[in-house]
């Protein structure tokens, strides 16, 4: 078993020390924290108002909640026997690196507490209703893998992550700057919601076999791997189609056409998934999925910023 453990760590280029803690945050997923806050704030900036301290506070709070969610995921996947020494992915700090489960759980709780302190400042400056929404986000983050019926064990994981980290965070980021929420902001959040949900889908496609053995009913488990990849390709198509429609109807500025530069990365995701059956083979596709969201979100925010000055 130790030999298998070492072989997997070598194949994944996993290092000891600080890298163990860095991997535990699942860094490729943290784009789901930055992009929505950036896009929501740039939308507010276009509409003439921005408080940079609020922006950074929202960004840090979002990253803390996302990281804590990842840690809870690590803890409960281990507790439910879903992570083993043969598991491939960002997880494994408990089974391969020997980190105590209680340490991971306690760290997640500490990050939630820090996020609540920052959230209190955001509410003080904007509205205390934000606290209600923020606590709901934190609850869903915990219930994604915690609780009697984890969201991650159902077909609704992609929807939950996309909705909360995409549309909701964009809406909050816009609202705390402007004190209003418009339909335009909701529409623009939809492609981001889809791309963030796709990060979750990529993870579930890779983990399909292990999830099936563990009794999970994720979309890839229910549909099969190849059909799920087709669904993912369709979701990418919808995200870019919506972007094109928004540009045509002036919901987004013409400059937002630069987001289409991320299309080749999305295509690469699907190509890298097709025909693969081993989790290790699918790792590049997972990274490209996160990159698709990152590049699209950055270019979208930049396009809004450019339109504000030109």
Check the CA dihedral 260-263-265-266 and report its sign: positive
pLDDT for position 285: 92
- How far apart CA 290 and CA 274 sit, in angstroms, is 17
What mean pLDDT is predicted for residues 171-189?
Answer: 95
219 pLDDT exceeds 70?
yes
Number of folded domains that form the chain: 1
Mean residue pLDDT of the chain comes to 87
Average pLDDT over residues 181-188: 96
The whole-number pLDDT of residue 86 equals 55
pLDDT at 164 over 50: yes
Map residue 264 onto helix, strand or coil.
helix
One DSSP character per residue, 199-232 reads: HHHHHHHHTHHHHHHTT---HHHHH-HHHHHHHH
Structure tokens at 226: 């190849």
Helix axes 129-143, 169-178, angle to 10 degrees: 160
Mean pLDDT throughout 24-53?
Answer: 86
pLDDT of the residue at 5: 46
109-125 pLDDT, tens per residue? 999 999 999 999 999 99
* Among 68, 65, 77, 151, residue whose Cα is nearest residue 106: 68
Domain hosting 6: range is 2-309
| Mean pLDDT across 199-208 | 92
Amino acid 8: pLDDT: 45
Mean pLDDT within 18-27: 65
Q: What is the mean pLDDT of residues 43-55?
A: 91
- What SS3 state is found at 249? coil
What local confidence, expressed as pLDDT, does residue 100 receive?
82
| Segment 226-282, tens digit of pLDDT | 999 999 999 999 999 999 999 999 999 999 999 999 999 999 999 999 999 888 899
- 30: CATH: 1.10.600
pLDDT at 20: 65
Percent of the chain with pLDDT over 70: 85
| 97 SS3 class | coil
Per-residue confidence (pLDDT) for residue 84, from 0 to 100:
56
Confidence label for 17 from pLDDT (cuts 50, 70 and 90): low
Q: 55-64, 76-85, 110-119, 261-270: which has the minimum mean pLDDT?
A: 76-85
Residue 10: which pLDDT band, with cuts at 50, 70 and 90? Answer: very low
């Amino acid at each position: 078993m130790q030999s298998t453990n070492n072989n997997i760590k070598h194949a994944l280029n996993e290092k000891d020390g600080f890298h163990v803690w860095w991997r535990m945050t699942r860094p490729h997923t943290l784009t789901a924290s930055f992009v929505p806050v950036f896009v929501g704030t740039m939308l507010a900036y276009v509409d003439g108002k921005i408080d940079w301290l609020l922006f950074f506070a929202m960004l840090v709070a979002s990253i803390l909640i996302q990281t804590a969610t990842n840690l809870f995921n690590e803890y409960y996947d281990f507790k439910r026997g879903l992570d083993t020494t043969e598991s491939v992915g960002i997880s494994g700090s408990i089974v391969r690196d020997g980190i105590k489960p209680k340490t991971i759980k306690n760290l997640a709780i500490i990050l939630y507490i820090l996020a609540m302190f920052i959230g209190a400042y955001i509410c003080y400056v904007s509205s205390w209703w934000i606290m209600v929404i923020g606590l709901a986000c934190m609850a869903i983050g915990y219930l994604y893998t915690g609780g009697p019926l984890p969201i991650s064990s159902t077909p609704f994981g992609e929807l939950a992550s996309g909705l909360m980290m995409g549309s909701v965070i964009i809406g909050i980021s816009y609202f705390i700057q402007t004190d209003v929420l418009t339909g335009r902001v909701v529409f623009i959040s939809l492609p981001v919601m889809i791309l963030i949900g796709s990060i979750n889908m990529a993870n579930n496609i890779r983990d399909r076999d292990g999830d099936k053995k563990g009794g999970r009913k994720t979309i890839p488990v229910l549909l099969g791997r190849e059909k799920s990849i087709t669904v993912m390709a369709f979701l990418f198509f919808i995200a870019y189609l919506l972007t094109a429609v928004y540009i045509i109807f002036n919901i987004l500025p013409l400059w937002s056409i630069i987001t289409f530069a991320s299309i080749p990365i999305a295509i690469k995701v699907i190509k890298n998934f097709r025909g693969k059956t081993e989790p290790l083979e699918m790792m590049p596709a997972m990274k490209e999925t996160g990159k698709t969201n990152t590049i699209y979100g950055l270019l979208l925010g930049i396009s809004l910023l450019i339109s504000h000055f030109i």
